[in-house]
Copies of this chain bind each other. A is one copy, B any other.
Amino acid sequence: MQIAFLLYDGFTALDVVGPYDVLRNLPGCEPVFVAEQVGPVRNTSGSLALIADKGVDEVDEADILVVPGGFGTRVVLDHQPLLAWLRQVHEGTTWTTSVCTGALLLAAAGLLEGEPATTHWLARSTLGALGARPVPERVVQSGKIITAAGVSAGIDMALRVVELTEGPQAAKAIQLDLEYDPQPPFDAGSPEKAPASLVESVTAAFTKAEAEVKAAARIGT
């Protein structure tokens, strides 16, 4: 069972590593990190690099595809060779998945047209503008496409994929092995739960960072 994890400049590391450390426990799986160029791929802030062991030209199918998010998505949203690769791999997958703003890439590739999907809570309108039907849930399944909300939601999504693939016992075993018994110190992990002032300041920081990435890549807003 091949599991392809897409990397691109400006991805968010936890988006991809959360699902990775869940899914790599699937029996007989062969995880592979894939990018347009083989070699180190830097995250949003540039201080982390994961190695892409394969180029997209070497991987034309996968049983499970994981597309992480990150501000870098905005730069590749109209990158046709990458979108064509997503469509091609999606054809043969059992599960096509995304985390956070990875859903924007699936939508840009035309895979979410009219479909319910989730993404980072601050990217819901962008997801809608790309043709999907944004749903404010943590994990959303639509046929064989499973999308996760922001960053940390990839862990919950991947456990769902294990459950769907190998059954609940396998998912529970991985959950126990990863000691995934979360105890966040605050109850502020969603815009519905956090105080309005916090939602406002996080929105401002997100909007600024997004604008900076677009300006650097000379993308119109």
Query: A189-217 interface mask toward B, CB cutoff 8 Å, 1 = contact, 0 = none?
Result: 11101100011011001100000000000
Q: In terms of DSSP, what is the predominant structure of the interface of chain A?
A: mixed
A179 → chain B closest CB, angstroms: 3
Chain B residues, Cβ within 8 Å of A20: 13-14, 48
Q: Looking at A32, A51, A156, A178, which has the most chain B CB atoms within 10 Å of its CB? A: A178
Given contacts A32-B47, A50-B48, A50-B50, contact A159 B185 (CB under 8 A): yes
Nearest CB on B from A219, distance (A)? 22
A24-B47, A188-B176, A189-B180 as given contacts; A155 in contact with B156, CB under 8 Å: no
Interface segment, A58-66, A73-81, A87-95, A166-174?
A166-174
| A198 and B176 in contact, given A24-B47, A31-B48 (Cβ under 8 angstroms) | yes
Q: Which residues of B contact A168 (CB under 8 A)?
A: 186
State the Cβ distance, A21 to closest chain B Cβ, in Å.
Answer: 4
By CB atoms of chain B within 10 A, which of A45, A151, A183, A199 has the most?
A183
Chain A contact residue count (CB 8 A cutoff): 64
Question: Can you give 20 contacting A-B residue pairs, CB < 8 Å?
Answer: A14-B20, A14-B21, A17-B17, A24-B48, A32-B47, A100-B179, A150-B177, A151-B180, A156-B184, A156-B185, A159-B186, A173-B198, A173-B201, A175-B189, A176-B190, A177-B205, A177-B206, A179-B190, A180-B182, A180-B189
* Additional A-B contacts beyond A152-B180, A156-B182 (13; CB < 8 A): A14-B20, A17-B18, A49-B51, A100-B179, A139-B183, A151-B178, A175-B186, A175-B188, A176-B188, A177-B206, A178-B189, A180-B182, A181-B193
